[in-house]
């Protein structure tokens, strides 16, 4: 008799609502003829942003050199360009042998956690987080322990809250700076305290800096690796966001600090990189041009730039709302928007996201997707133009008004216990 195909127990606790049930429902509505505004993913190309032309030309000119597998760590010019960028930022002791090119940062997060974790090992991850970090930890047999980054603290972590999560099984501290989903940018003092905590407990620092140049107003990004001298730091970045090249799937991980402490780990990581042969070769030729050329992201994030203006439109729309509040994002391409519980005490972010999709045809990511213990927020991307965002917020406000009018009914029906 035929049996259903069972799934791995490791998948049971994995959630990625950014492309989950809500996104699937959006597809169904599109098939029915509805036009859906998709704000659930930071995907610049979907909103008319173009990869710099010089990067496209670099790929085209090197296509003949892209037909064979390359080294498992990546092509030399790309890794050399990453080293030069790190050195220009003050990172010492880094070499091409400590740079791994991957199919986006996502693949490298998985590989670096797989090389690190034994079953039951723990990883400190911010809450809210980019949910891939929690998912990859779970899939590789680890345990995600979330340290709170609270709205009342502008989503900046407190060192005592991180330290409270440390146990004898803790192996690594994950830092996402600039932060996705909140847009928080950590000060050098906060980062230095995190480094000292990690060194005191012998923790590997895993610093996700994919939005490192996407900064607003007076925000300054401090590369974590510049502060790590005695321990080991892995810095993650890539072409997807700053260079608007998500589809190229090129990211890198740079191991720095006292790398002698990580000799066995680096060998294990190289073994895992070898098993998948190599990363996508054609797009790697764009790395040297991207990092060594004109940094056009500044035009987008400075006053009058498109991302700056979109950010301003979100902040102004929230200020005009009777329901919403937000900590103004200092970096990245998102805002993590809260609903004032005094206006809608029974607000449930997942239920609201579904209602907004069904009635206003706007898709966003509910806050519960980002591993927080509350259900009062949602994430929206800054990528649409300012005028479009103002119209979107009118739809959000309309749906919030309807939700508020249904408040007694919401109180009578317990919110769902699981958002799968």
Per-residue model confidence as pLDDT tens digits over 385-404: 999 999 999 999 999 999 99
pLDDT value at residue 1: 62
**Same domain, residue pair 307 and 218:** no
Task: Among 292, 326, 348, give the residue marking a domain's end.
Answer: 292
**Same domain, residue pair 212 and 330:** no
2 found inside a domain: no
**Same domain, residue pair 236 and 192:** yes
6 Cβ partners below 8 Å, 6+ apart? Answer: none
What distance lies between CA 357 and its chain's CA centroid?
A: 23
Handedness of CA 72, 252, 259, 96 (dihedral sign): positive
250 Cβ partners below 8 Å, 6+ apart? Answer: 78, 101, 102, 103, 104, 238, 239, 240, 279, 280, 283, 284, 286, 287
25 found inside a domain: yes
403 to 21, 135, 352, 380, 389: CA distances (angstroms): 21, 31, 8, 19, 21
**Same domain, residue pair 43 and 89:** no
Using CB atoms within 10 Å of the CB of residue 69, give its burial: 0 to 12 exposed, 13 to 18 middle, 19+ buried: exposed
Which among 305, 287, 288 is positioned nearest to 296, based on CA atoms?
Answer: 305
B/e letters for 133-144, b = 16+ CB within 10 Å, e = fewer, are: bbbbbbbbebbb
pLDDT value at residue 415: 45
**Same domain, residue pair 317 and 220:** no
- The three-state secondary structure class of 45 is helix
Specify the number of domains making up the chain: 2
162 Cβ partners below 8 Å, 6+ apart? Answer: 124, 147, 173, 194, 197
**Same domain, residue pair 181 and 326:** no
> What pLDDT digit, counting tens, does each position of 266-311 carry?
999 999 999 999 999 999 999 999 999 899 999 999 999 999 999 9
In the block, residue with structure tokens 């992201």: 297
126 found inside a domain: yes
% of the chain at pLDDT higher than 90: 89
What does the alpha-carbon distance between residue 19 and residue 110 come to, in Å, rounded to a whole number? 18
98 Cβ partners below 8 Å, 6+ apart? Answer: 254, 255, 256, 259, 266
385 found inside a domain: yes
**Same domain, residue pair 235 and 160:** yes
Handedness of CA 234, 239, 242, 247 (dihedral sign): negative
What does the alpha-carbon distance between residue 146 and residue 127 come to, in Å, rounded to a whole number? 6
pLDDT value at residue 10: 82
Q: What residue numbers bound the domain in which 231 lies?
A: 53-292
CATH number of the domain that 114 lies in?
A: 3.40.640.10
**Strand (E) or helix (H) holding 70:** none
> What pLDDT digit, counting tens, does each position of 233-263 carry?
999 999 999 999 999 999 999 999 999 999 9
What does the alpha-carbon distance between residue 108 and residue 101 come to, in Å, rounded to a whole number? 8
What does the alpha-carbon distance between residue 115 and residue 117 come to, in Å, rounded to a whole number? 6
**Same domain, residue pair 262 and 378:** no
**Same domain, residue pair 91 and 236:** yes
What does the alpha-carbon distance between residue 325 and residue 315 come to, in Å, rounded to a whole number? 9
**Same domain, residue pair 238 and 334:** no
**Same domain, residue pair 322 and 381:** yes
Across the beta sheet with 122-127, what order do the strands follow?
Answer: 99-102, 251-257, 232-238, 204-208, 170-176, 122-127, 143-148
User: How confident is residue 408, by pLDDT bands cut at 50, 70 and 90?
Assistant: low
CATH number of the domain that 322 lies in?
A: 3.90.1150.10
pLDDT value at residue 412: 44
Say yes or no to pLDDT of 411 above 60. Answer: no
pLDDT value at residue 215: 98
pLDDT value at residue 361: 97
> What pLDDT digit, counting tens, does each position of 31-67 carry?
999 999 999 989 999 999 999 999 999 999 999 999 9
419 found inside a domain: no
Contact 133, 125 (CB under 8 A): yes
Task: Among 252, 272, 292, give the residue marking a domain's end.
Answer: 292
**Angle CA 392–132–164, to nearest 5:** 105
73 found inside a domain: yes
4 found inside a domain: no
* DSSP state letter for 152: G
Task: Among 229, 262, 292, give the residue marking a domain's end.
Answer: 292
User: How confident is residue 5, by pLDDT bands cut at 50, 70 and 90?
Assistant: confident
User: How confident is residue 409, by pLDDT bands cut at 50, 70 and 90?
Assistant: low
Across the beta sheet with 377-381, what order do the strands follow?
Answer: 324-326, 334-339, 377-381, 365-366
Say yes or no to pLDDT of 161 above 90. Answer: yes
User: How confident is residue 264, by pLDDT bands cut at 50, 70 and 90?
Assistant: very high
pLDDT value at residue 418: 44
What does the alpha-carbon distance between residue 101 and residue 251 come to, in Å, rounded to a whole number? 6
3 found inside a domain: no
**Two structure tokens written together for 157:** 């972590």
**Same domain, residue pair 208 and 341:** no
């Amino acid at each position: 008799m035929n049996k259903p195909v069972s799934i791995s127990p490791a998948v049971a606790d994995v959630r990625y609502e950014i492309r989950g049930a809500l996104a699937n429902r959006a597809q169904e509505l599109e098939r029915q003829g509805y036009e859906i505004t998709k704000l659930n993913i930071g995907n610049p190309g979907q909103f008319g942003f173009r990869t710099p032309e010089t990067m496209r030309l670099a790929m085209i000119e090197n296509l003949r050199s892209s037909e064979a597998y390359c080294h498992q760590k990546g092509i030399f010019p790309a890794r050399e360009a990453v080293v030069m960028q790190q050195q220009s930022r003050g990172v010492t002791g880094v070499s091409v042998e400590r740079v791994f090119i991957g199919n986006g940062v996502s693949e490298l997060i998985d590989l670096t956690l797989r090389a690190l974790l034994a079953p039951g090992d723990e990883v400190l991850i911010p809450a809210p987080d980019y949910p891939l970090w929690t998912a990859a930890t779970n899939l590789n047999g680890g345990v995600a322990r979330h340290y709170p980054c609270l709205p009342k603290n502008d989503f900046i972590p407190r060192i005592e809250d991180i330290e409270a999560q440390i146990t004898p099984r803790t192996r690594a501290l994950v830092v996402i700076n600039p932060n996705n989903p909140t847009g928080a940018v950590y000060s050098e003092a906060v980062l230095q305290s995190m480094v000292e905590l990690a060194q005191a407990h012998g923790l590997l620092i895993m610093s996700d800096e994919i939005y490192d140049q996407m900064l607003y107003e007076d925000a300054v990004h401090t590369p974590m690796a510049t502060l790590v001298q005695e321990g080991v730091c892995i810095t993650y970045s890539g072409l997807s966001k700053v260079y608007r090249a998500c589809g190229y799937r090129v990211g890198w991980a740079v191991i720095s600090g006292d790398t002698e402490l990580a000799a066995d780990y680096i060998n294990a990581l190289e073994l895992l990189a070898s098993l998948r042969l190599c990363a996508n070769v054609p797009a790697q030729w764009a790395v040297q041009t991207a990092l060594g050329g004109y940094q056009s992201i500044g035009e987008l994030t400075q006053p009058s730039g498109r991302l700056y203006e979109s950010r301003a439109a979100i902040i102004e729309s929230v200020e005009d709302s009777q329901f919403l509040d937000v900590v103004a994002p200092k970096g990245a391409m998102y805002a993590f928007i809260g609903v004032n519980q005094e206006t809608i005490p029974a607000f449930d972010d997942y239920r609201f996201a579904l209602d907004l999709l069904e009635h206003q045809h706007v898709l966003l990511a509910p806050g519960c997707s980002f591993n927080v213990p509350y259900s009062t927020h949602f994430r929206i991307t800054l990528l649409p133009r300012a005028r479009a965002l103002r119209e979107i917020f009118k739809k959000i406000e309309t749906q919030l008004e309807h939700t508020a009018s249904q408040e007694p009914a919401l109180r009578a029906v317990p919110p769902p216990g699981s958002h799968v």
